Amino acid sequence: MTGGGLLVAGTTSDAGKSVVTAGICRWLVRQGVKVAPFKAQNMSLNSFVTREGAEIGRAQAMQAQACRIEPTALMNPVLLKPGGERSSQVVLLGRPVGEMSARGYHGGRQQRLLDTVLDSLAQLRATYDAVICEGAGSPAEINLRRTDIVNMGIARNASLPVLVVGDIDRGGVFASFFGTVALLSREDQELVAGFLVNKFRGDVSLLEPGLDMLHGLTGRHTYGVLPFRHGLGIDEEDGLAVSLRGAVRESAVTAPVGEDVLRIAVCAVPLMSNFTDVDALAAEPGVVVRFVDRPEELADADLVVVPGTRGTVRALGWLRERGLADALLRRAAEGRPVLGICGGYQILGERIDDDVESRAGRVDGLGLLPVRVRFAREKTLERPVGRALEESVEGYEIHHGVADVRGGEAFVSDDGGHGLDGCRVGQTWGTHWHGSLESDGFRRAFLREVAAAAGRRFVPAPDTSFAALREEQLDRLGDLIEQHADTDALWRLVESGAPPGLPFVPPGAPA
């Protein structure tokens, strides 16, 4: 028997599809429903590695956590990782299969992936009671409808009802709802069940006349009005919004345990990937995290982080052009803490040989760590564990660069003290491991080292649990759906599909 399903689409990118999907997943699992997330095609530089060594979007990994299940490649069969303005690496069922231009992808390759997408969704629906799917961008991208495999293309092929989410905080939500439906073909419109308003501020009774008029114009109900809440973003697909940093900054901030705060500057390198690595730092009371792009902004930082990037050589050039490279060299010479993660780690090394990502050949790194990096065609995708600073630590690896460490101290070791990854020289650190700072004991030990080197009387809180903060955040999303959406009607959609007899809204899709 095939499980139920629902596609959460949006009037725009960043309308709230990811958080609404996660909220519906958490609400369903709390009702005893066996549920899984799905996104046919994701474009993001924020990715994650599953237990079986597959790379998927981080948003789908967090949605799986909302479902209280392990993420798998089936939940995000196609991942596009931009490498520039016009090309992306295509990751199929967790493995990279090549680079492709946007024109080449939409010109035919995308449609050939439809069978893989539909098969992945069918496997999930055969296993779970319900699968909550997330769309991408808007379903009314009329220039891309012919090759669409993530919005109405997947909805029609899999007979999924569609819930359209609109961000009222942006303004124009009624026009966006109406226009989205009116630009779809008759066959696609038959699957669009209704709407969900996101990020509403104020008195809902003032909105209700507009919702009634929208129903009169489209024949479709609004399934809920979600109030605006600070800090509810799960791991975003792209951009500089950092979910838990936002939660800590915008909600009631816990006072520092020690006498000082700790200031952390993150270099906003081009094609920055997995910037969610710093969420765990920002979750600590007394830690202030900010993104920077000028050398003077490093002056008062107690720690500078050079994050991961999909363009290591390009990011290295950007740091030099902006004067940030010289500022990093001065910091290291003064014994002030610097941390490089993944591509940032490679940048801190002596040399990079890249005939894969940038095809730039041999390029000198910053020379702060005795490491030489060679880019391999095969991508490393692993979920390692080890020990660092006498604490257990785990993470995940996503990189083409292979590091040859020629000195310094190992950053992460196994239980026998043998180096597993990374390198440290003085107060300059580097590791390929994303997510290592989510290990609470290691994060506290690392911050104590940073505070000592920076001369700050900062003390990490003894009870901050990053995993618990994430669970709390997901529960808040579930609460929003439970308290502010018509959950009975949502479940009918999941179980039975779109209501029959939904009216056609002209003009429909262009020929």
Closest alpha carbon to 56 in 77, 86, 70? 77
What pLDDT does 248 receive? 34
Closest alpha carbon to 453 in 418, 424, 414, 422? 424
**CB contact set of 137 (below 8 Å; sequence gap of 6+):** 10, 12, 13, 151
Please give the backbone phi and psi of residue 425, each rounded to the nearest 5 degrees, phi first.
Answer: -130, 110
User: C-alpha dihedral over 96, 102, 107, 111, to 10 degrees?
Assistant: 40
Element at 130 (helix H, strand E): strand 130-134
Residue 348: C-alpha distances to residues 357, 408, 451 (Å): 17, 13, 21
Contact 368, 357 (CB under 8 A): no
DSSP, residue by residue, 405-422:
E-SSB-SEE-TTS-EEE-
Enumerate the β-bridge partners of residue 200: 227
Residue 79 tokens, joined: 């991942």
Element at 187 (helix H, strand E): helix 186-189
Contact 327, 302 (CB under 8 A): no
Return d(Cα 361, Cα 20) in angstroms, integer.
44
Return d(Cα 209, Cα 364) in angstroms, integer.
63
Tokens 């080449």 -> residue: 104
| 3-class DSSP state of 465 | coil
DSSP-derived pairing of the beta strands 87-92 and 78-82: antiparallel
pLDDT digits (tens, 9 = 90+) for 14-48: 899 999 999 999 999 999 999 999 999 999 899 99
Answer positive or negative: Cα dihedral of 304, 305, 311, 312. Answer: positive
Residue 151 tokens, joined: 């919005």
Out of 67, 342, 399, 432, the active site residue is: 342
Return d(Cα 138, Cα 60) in angstroms, integer.
18
Residue 332 tokens, joined: 């290291």
Neighbours of 82 (CB within 10 A): 18
Element at 81 (helix H, strand E): strand 78-82
What pLDDT does 108 receive? 61
Return d(Cα 482, Cα 411) in angstroms, integer.
45
What type of residue sits at position 151?
N
Kindly tell me the burial class for residue 415, based on how many C-beta atoms sit within 10 Å of its own C-beta (0-12, 13-18, 19 or more): exposed
**CB contact set of 116 (below 8 Å; sequence gap of 6+):** 77, 78, 92, 93
Rounded to 10°, the helix 17-30/58-66 angle is 20
Task: Examine the residue annotation and report whether 423 is marked as an active-site residue of this protein.
Answer: no
What pLDDT does 50 receive? 97
| 3-class DSSP state of 196 | strand
Tokens 């009624």 -> residue: 174
Task: Examine the residue annotation and report whether 342 is marked as an active-site residue of this protein.
Answer: yes
The residue ranges of the chain whose pLDDT is under 70 are 1, 85, 102-108, 111, 231-253, 416-418
Cis peptide before 507 (omega within 30 of 0): yes
What pLDDT does 101 receive? 74
- The pTM of the full predicted model, rounded to 2 decimals, is 0.92
